[in-house]
Chain A
Amino acid sequence: MVAQEVEKEPEETLQPKTDFGPPHYEIMLHPVVKKNYGKWAYHEAVRPGVIKRVAESGDVIYTVRFGTPRLLSIYTVREICEIADKYCDGYLRFTSRHNVEFILTDPDKIEPLIKEVQEKLGFPCGGTRDTTNAKYCLSNIIHTQGWVHCHTPATDASGIVKSVMDELYDYFTDYKLPAQCRISLACCANMCGAVHASDISIVGVHRKVPKIDDDAVRRTCEIPSTVAACPTGALKPDMKRKTVVLDKDKCMYCGNCYTMCPGMPIFDPDNDGVAILVAGKVSDARYPPQLSKVVVPWIGNNPPRWPEVVQTIKKILETWATHAEKYERIAEWVHRIGWERFFELTGLEFTEKLIDDYKRTPYIYASYRTSAAFRW
């Protein structure tokens, strides 16, 4: 077969260009946003998903928020663009939690915009809060790649998120919560999603030790870095055989070694699953930032819709929403009622698996101020 002469695309012949950085944010700002930059006076909640922002100049901007599945087709992004051209002079933004926000000046266009987005894209309007009146929507679930694209996950991400949000849909579109609730999902303990300070977090966990493939370790791994990746010192180099050995009693299945070394696969379809954590937060409001705490050590993977995970999340959310006072996030609610009552009210089982025995986090950390809240 004769190799065919293929005509090269212009992109294939250009000299690579580097280090020019992202586009400047100023070119992305709606003219009214640019004009009133740094000069906003106040905001108010119009309805779930819609916030009115008033500038010192008297100018008004509305932001209209919609939940997205994060994984978007370019053909959907183009449809988003068409809608933004029609209603928003071509300006929009995304939030830190996978929502899209349309930016517009004419309040009469809000309802038609919401209708068009819901009809064409199926994205729900919501996810905001009315802090003045202590009325909150659930925010979108921030999440990672999972089985869609990651090599180390203990669970899928998008499938659980879709299943949970289907069940909690009305909480996103309506003000049904007494305080902010941020749910996050990371598909392994590597936590690209950094879910460790969320009101409710779902974390993929393994429960069986990695299976060391000596030949693959020899071919594909750097032994010192693999050994160094182990937080508990369970891995030791075996220099003679040019591989690693594992002390099963020390391993807590974090998978960090597999991240470093393909020769230590840790997947186990029957034993992988998720842990559920609660009562984390990052805002300083009322109560200092908190790390999330494990309240369910493991629920097995049950694709495609993970019903046990969905029902557990729903139970926690609704128990909290029923019993919490206004503005009381899960962390603050538990602080008031005590963990005894948390487990009693949610019906979750407290077991020895929930008592911390991970010794690497130093004791000193408890005295460090993890907050910008202090007196002058």
Chain B
Amino acid sequence: MPVVDGVELPETPLLDELEKGPWPSFVKEIKKTAIEQEKAMKAGKKIKLPGAAKGLLKVLELAYKDKRTHWKHGGIVSVIGYGGGVIGRYCDLEDQIPEVWHFHTIRINMPAGWFYTTKALRTICDVWEKWGSGLTNFHGSTGDIILLGTRTEYLQPCANALAYADQLYGGVPFDIGGSGSDLRTPSACMGPALCEFACYDTLKACYEFTMRYQNELHRPMWPYKFKIKCSGCPNDCVAAKARSDFAIIGTWKDEIQIDQEAVREYAKVIDIEEHVVKKCPTKAISWDGKELKINNRECIRCMHCINVLPKALKPGKERGATILIGGKAPFVDGAIIGWVAVPFIPENELIEKCCEMLEAIWEWWDEEGKFRERVGELIWRKGMDEFLKVINQKADVRMVYAPRNNPFIFWRELNE
């Protein structure tokens, strides 16, 4: 057995291959955890699961050898008061590798925009060093901080440690995130904190939704999962259009703001015609070497020209967001990129309007949705006309690329 710093590690010839090469290695991270946690324990620190990372190395090496996973379905594990946020996980090699027989995940609700102080990050480290495997993901696919692997009996103490972190660890308290058929932890791009393109306050919106819907987030009660993501502009850095049932995409309605002097400065270093004018999808831009003209009636606010000339061009002043509905992965009716449900909501009405809509959607989906039917699939089954009634919206040509190409229209109102 290889011994590092006085700590014995299991033989992992296959995994060792993944320590080679320039990209940072997850295998090194697991080994480092195994070594450092054992050293910390020997130095007198209270550590409940000193062998977990070592156990993971053994399981993973076997997975690599057998070309299959060795994790089993979770069953129901949770913390008091919540139905979601903890993913039960057991190993199918209980006798062989008892260290990771239980290896449950805890999802921790990250701060909006994934901004941290080192004090907050150290809280996570201190709690997870004591009560778990010491292994994390920054971050999981939905955006939560993922704590990888602990035993059932440590779930509640770990949640308590995080909840009372200010008193117990001199740290920053954290709450648990969503999982299962509930509101998944909402996420947001960095928005106005760092980006001049943000057309609404994505962090504030994300935080408001998260706080207002704590019950929906922690207690799975719906047909399936529901995701909300906030992107400050149509560049969509959090992939809200594809990855959330309810995507809030910042945009504007009036004219792009132009600083002609700054355009001329850019013209000294790049070819405006090649980089900007020719790339405009609606040919709405012209450049005569002195002045950049945008035909805003033709502009579809795709962001390309603004992305290329951030010093010179800015979104307009009449800002807000477009709501796209239905985005999701392939199960069951196929992968969906969300489509327009509301073309524009002004920024000052955005959060309240979204909440009104979310509550109406959830009530309808809860009533009508089948088991494991995402809201986009329910809309396909019931029709956009019914959905528009639910969210109290009139049909708008901006909801489609083109009108229908068949005359098989439901005239239900004449046939009741």
Question: Is the pairing of A and B real?
Answer: yes
Instruction: Knowing A301-B67, A368-B339, A372-B322, say if A132 contacts B266 (CB, 8 Å).
Output: yes
Contacts of A133 in B (CB 8 A): 269-270
A-B contacts, 5 of them at CB < 8 A, read A22-B175, A27-B117, A77-B136, A193-B141, A267-B69
- In angstroms, Cα B164 to Cα A11, docked, is 8
Q: Is B367 an interface residue (CB 8 A)?
A: no
Contacts of B389 in A (CB 8 A): none
Q: Is B256 an interface residue (CB 8 A)?
A: no
**Would you give the 0/1 interface string for A197-231, flagging 1 where the beta carbon is closer than 8 Å to chain B?**
10000000000000000000000100011001101
Kindly specify which of A107-115, A140-148, A313-321 makes contact with the partner chain: A140-148
Contacts of B112 in A (CB 8 A): 22, 25
Total count of chain A residues near the partner, CB < 8 A: 138
Contacts of B338 in A (CB 8 A): 370
Q: Is A105 an interface residue (CB 8 A)?
A: no
Contact of A375 among B161, B189, B297 (CB under 8 A): B297
**Judging by beta carbons under 8 Å apart, are A22 and B274 in contact?**
no
Q: Is B407 an interface residue (CB 8 A)?
A: no
Q: Is B42 an interface residue (CB 8 A)?
A: no
- In angstroms, Cα B242 to Cα A301, docked, is 27
**Which 10 A-B pairs rank lowest in CB-CB distance, beginning with the nearest?**
A361-B334, A166-B21, A191-B329, A196-B335, A368-B339, A269-B67, A197-B242, A38-B192, A147-B63, A284-B234
**Judging by beta carbons under 8 Å apart, are B23 and A286 in contact?**
no
Q: Nearest CB to that of A292 among chain B residues?
A: B335
Q: Is B190 an interface residue (CB 8 A)?
A: yes
Kindly specify which of B193-201, B285-293, B358-366 makes contact with the partner chain: B193-201
Interface residues of A in 237-295 (CB under 8 A from B): 254, 256, 262, 267, 269-270, 272, 280, 282-287, 289-291
Known: A21-B210, A361-B335. 7 other contacts (CB 8 A): A63-B194, A81-B122, A96-B143, A132-B308, A191-B331, A374-B340, A376-B253
- In angstroms, Cα B143 to Cα A286, docked, is 28
**Judging by beta carbons under 8 Å apart, are B26 and A162 in contact?**
yes
**Would you give the 0/1 interface string for A30-44, flagging 1 where the beta carbon is closer than 8 Å to chain B?**
000100011011111
Contact of B139 among A81, A94, A267 (CB under 8 A): A94
**Judging by beta carbons under 8 Å apart, are A372 and B249 in contact?**
yes
- In angstroms, Cα B331 to Cα A282, docked, is 19
> Shortest CB–CB separation between residue A267 and chain B, in angstroms?
5
> Shortest CB–CB separation between residue A189 and chain B, in angstroms?
6
**Judging by beta carbons under 8 Å apart, are A11 and B339 in contact?**
no
**Judging by beta carbons under 8 Å apart, are B111 and A285 in contact?**
no
Q: Nearest CB to that of A13 among chain B residues?
A: B160
Contact of B29 among A17, A76, A147, A159 (CB under 8 A): A76
Interface residues of A in 9-23 (CB under 8 A from B): 9-12, 14, 16-23
- In angstroms, Cα B74 to Cα A284, docked, is 39
Q: Is A137 an interface residue (CB 8 A)?
A: no
